[in-house]
Amino acid sequence: MPNEPTKAALRRLYTEKAAALPPDYKREASAAIAEKLSAHPAYLSAKTVFIYIGTPREPDTAAIIRSALAAGKRVFVPRCGKKPQMDAVEITAQTVFYPNRFGIFEPQAGYCAAPEEIELTVVPCVAADKNGVRLGHGGGYYDVFLQTCRCPAVCLCFSSLLADGLPAEAHDVPVTAVITE
């Protein structure tokens, strides 16, 4: 339909909404999201978790990562290569991180898992809807990764960034669950 906003326009709108969220809300919501994820059956059964490192506009994943490592799970985080190549790099408490070209912290080195080694993927979003459609940051990295990874995928999203519906294209891979506070 001609009057429907484009993904780029929606991305700008929800990025502005995320930037305006109060720090206290983000901190409390991030803690509640972490608690819900830690109780999710897919998380509980997973021995290997691929999870993003949150930015200031996203739910904070640091506590989730620490908890997963403490629970003995193998934790992998993204390292972006040439678009849309993304590796799942294993981390430990001693992993050294550096900011990539997007300002997102990535591991300097580590074992790269094959997609079939991952048992749960936790993906970021700018916004999501209740049907599992997520509006990503526009690089296509996660859609490409999710096409090769056959495990459950969950998206962490502040409830204030949930949409009634989002446009999806043929290459967009929906997540199996959207976790909010």
**Ordered DSSP codes for 10-75:** HHHHHHHHHHTS-HHHHHHHHHHHHHHHHHSHHHHH-SEEEEPPPPTTS---HHHHHHHHHTT-EE
**Confidence at residue 5, expressed as pLDDT on a 0 to 100 scale:** 82
**Confidence at residue 2, expressed as pLDDT on a 0 to 100 scale:** 54
**Confidence at residue 171, expressed as pLDDT on a 0 to 100 scale:** 86
Query: Taking the CB of residue 70, how many other CB atoms lie within 10 A of it?
Result: 9
Residues 48 and 118 sit within 8 Å (Cβ to Cβ): yes
C-alpha dist (Å) from residue 103 to 53, 72, 77, 79, 161: 11, 29, 15, 12, 22
For 115, counting Cβ atoms within 10 Å of its Cβ (0-12 exposed, 13-18 middle, 19+ buried), the class is middle
**Confidence at residue 170, expressed as pLDDT on a 0 to 100 scale:** 87
Enter the CATH code of domain 7-127+147-179. 3.40.50.10420
pLDDT at 150 over 50: yes
**Confidence at residue 135, expressed as pLDDT on a 0 to 100 scale:** 95
Beta-bridged to residue 123, according to DSSP, are 155
pTM of the model: 0.93
Phi, psi of 100 (to 5 degrees): -85, -170
pLDDT at 87 over 70: yes
Looking at residues 56-72, what average pLDDT do you find?
Answer: 95
Instruction: Name the residue ranges covered by the structural domains of the chain.
Output: 7-127+147-179
Q: If you average pLDDT over every residue of the chain, what do you get?
A: 93
**Confidence at residue 126, expressed as pLDDT on a 0 to 100 scale:** 96
pLDDT at 166 over 90: yes
Residue 170 in tokens: 């043929």
Residues 98 and 130 sit within 8 Å (Cβ to Cβ): no
Looking at residues 115-137, what average pLDDT do you find?
Answer: 95
